[in-house]
Amino acid sequence: MRFQRLDLNLLVALDALLTEQSVSLAADRLCLSQSATSSALGRLREYFDDDLLVLKGRQMVLTARAEELIEPTRAVLEQIRTTIAVSPEFDPATSDRTIRFMASDYTTEVLLAPALERFATLAPEMRFEIQHMSSAPVESLERGFVDLLVTVDFATSADHPSELMFVDDYLVVGDQANPAFAQEMTSKLYLSLPHVTVRFGKQRIPAFDDWYMRRKKQQRRVEVVTASFVTMPSLIIGTNRIGTMHRRLAEKMGKRYPLAFAEVPFDIPPVRELAQWDIANNNDAALRWVVGEMKKVAEAEVPEKFANEPIDDTISFQFRDERGGASGV
């Protein structure tokens, strides 16, 4: 590449020649042959219209023009090294980056909200944006609409790096006055009660529990469909309705609403929540820091059931809805 007739590749050779004041030593430093280094010196002499290095006695010495070029050449190469060759250091205390998340209301409530509280102290100048889950979350990530996708594993892509945040499962929730919770929650009782369930967006993508029950061909009496997990308690309180809610969210909602809980009376796969970023941003220090701090928050709020259980880091993609898209996001 040339800049005003100067081959920029020669700058490195010029620095070595000015430093070593020897073609052979400069060649060793550049890992080039002496003939290639001599050729570079010849082209530099032609460009600067100066000998640069001249033989005096038995050694080479710099000309006056060469002496003038020492500091400017080093300064240019150092600027290239610090601004291009070396990634700038990320300091959360002073960074003013904006990080855009895509996450469900469940993820926002149990992970992003406490993480943002932490960021307010550690990174006071950073800004954050949370977008609702779209029907094509990975595409939004790849097109640069968001920086981090935080969702269940089967809504992510194997083409991009990710990190497991936490594992969760489900509880049956209802009003504390609901007589059904005074007895064991059996499958028969669960299926007989009126339910509140969640479906997302215009496509009415079912929440995982709804999708799973359909897959198992189990019929529930769904009385209310809502678009948000966090609205479920207000649709349950004062009624005999029940809902199937993530354990982490249920425990948080139980501090705000008079809810009763029961274990789900059948085996249902756990939820694995991941943070994913585009592979093109894999070396983004700010994103990696944010993911690391989110992981700390997730580990600090482990439900008692999972406190002593090892976390499996393998990613599962087997749960897809009939249209090929991810459900329960």
Structure tokens at 304: 């008692």
304-309 long-range contacts, Cβ below 8 Å, gap at least 24? 305/169, 305/247, 306/166, 306/167, 306/168, 309/167
Residue-wise pLDDT for 10-43, tens only, equals 888 888 889 889 998 988 888 888 888 899 889 8
In a domain, 315, yes or no: no
What pLDDT is attached to residue 283? Answer: 86
* Rounded CA separation 55/205 (Å): 80
What pLDDT is attached to residue 4? Answer: 44
* Rounded CA separation 140/159 (Å): 14
What pLDDT is attached to residue 265? Answer: 93
- The more confident residue out of 149 and 199 is 149
The answer on 281 and 227 residing in a single domain is no
The answer on 277 and 153 residing in a single domain is yes
In a domain, 311, yes or no: no
The answer on 181 and 258 residing in a single domain is yes
SS3 content of the chain, % helix, strand, coil (to 5): 40, 20, 35
Concatenated DSSP letters for 182-199?
GS---HHHHHHSEEEEEE
- The more confident residue out of 206 and 125 is 125
* Residue 275: strand pairing partners: 150, 163
- The more confident residue out of 158 and 321 is 158
Asked if 38 and 23 touch (Cβ cutoff 8 Å), the reply is yes
**Residue 157 pLDDT grade (very low, low, confident, very high; cuts 50, 70, 90):** very high
In a domain, 317, yes or no: no
Residue-wise pLDDT for 223-241, tens only, equals 999 988 999 999 999 999 9
Q: How far are the Cα atoms of 22, 30, 39, 260 from residue 34, in angstroms, in the given order?
A: 10, 10, 8, 82
What pLDDT is attached to residue 6? Answer: 61
In a domain, 42, yes or no: yes
**pLDDT of 162 above 90:** yes
The answer on 237 and 110 residing in a single domain is no
Domain at 249, CATH number: 3.40.190.10
* In the chain, % of residues over pLDDT 90: 50
Residue-wise pLDDT for 38-52, tens only, equals 998 898 898 888 999
* In the chain, % of residues over pLDDT 70: 87
Instruction: Give me the numbers of helices (H) and strands (E) for the chain, helices first please.
Output: 12, 15
The answer on 163 and 286 residing in a single domain is yes
Asked if 106 and 229 touch (Cβ cutoff 8 Å), the reply is yes
Residue-wise pLDDT for 120-143, tens only, equals 999 999 999 999 888 789 999 998
The answer on 81 and 10 residing in a single domain is yes
| Structural domain count of the chain | 3
In a domain, 123, yes or no: yes
**Residue 200 pLDDT grade (very low, low, confident, very high; cuts 50, 70, 90):** confident
The answer on 109 and 225 residing in a single domain is no
The answer on 207 and 60 residing in a single domain is no
- The more confident residue out of 67 and 310 is 67
The answer on 176 and 125 residing in a single domain is no
Q: Where would I find the H helices in 101-246?
A: 105-107, 113-122, 137-142, 187-192, 208-215, 232-236
Q: Which residues span the domain enclosing 299?
A: 98-167+271-306
- The more confident residue out of 101 and 312 is 101
What pLDDT is attached to residue 247? Answer: 94
The answer on 253 and 181 residing in a single domain is yes
**Span 101-110, average pLDDT:** 94
> What is the average pLDDT score of the chain?
85
In a domain, 312, yes or no: no
* Rounded CA separation 95/274 (Å): 25
What pLDDT is attached to residue 88? Answer: 67
10 Å CB burial of residue 94 (0-12, 13-18, 19+) is exposed
* Rounded CA separation 216/267 (Å): 11
Domain boundary among 263, 282, 314: 263
The answer on 225 and 196 residing in a single domain is yes
Number of neighbours of residue 249 by Cβ within 10 angstroms: 22
Q: How far are the Cα atoms of 228, 263, 301 from residue 242, in angstroms, in the given order?
A: 15, 12, 25
In a domain, 321, yes or no: no
10 Å CB burial of residue 43 (0-12, 13-18, 19+) is middle
Tally the C-alpha atoms within 13 A of residue 227's C-alpha that lie toward its C-beta. Answer: 8
What pLDDT is attached to residue 136? Answer: 86
96 by DSSP, 3-state: which? coil
What pLDDT is attached to residue 7? Answer: 67
Domain at 12, CATH number: 1.10.10.10
In a domain, 275, yes or no: yes
Domain boundary among 64, 85, 106: 85
What pLDDT is attached to residue 83? Answer: 65
**Residue 171 pLDDT grade (very low, low, confident, very high; cuts 50, 70, 90):** very high
* Secondary element (H or E) of residue 13: helix 10-20
Residue-wise pLDDT for 254-283, tens only, equals 999 999 999 999 888 888 999 999 998 888
Residue-wise pLDDT for 175-197, tens only, equals 999 999 999 999 999 999 999 99
The answer on 284 and 159 residing in a single domain is yes
- The more confident residue out of 196 and 214 is 196
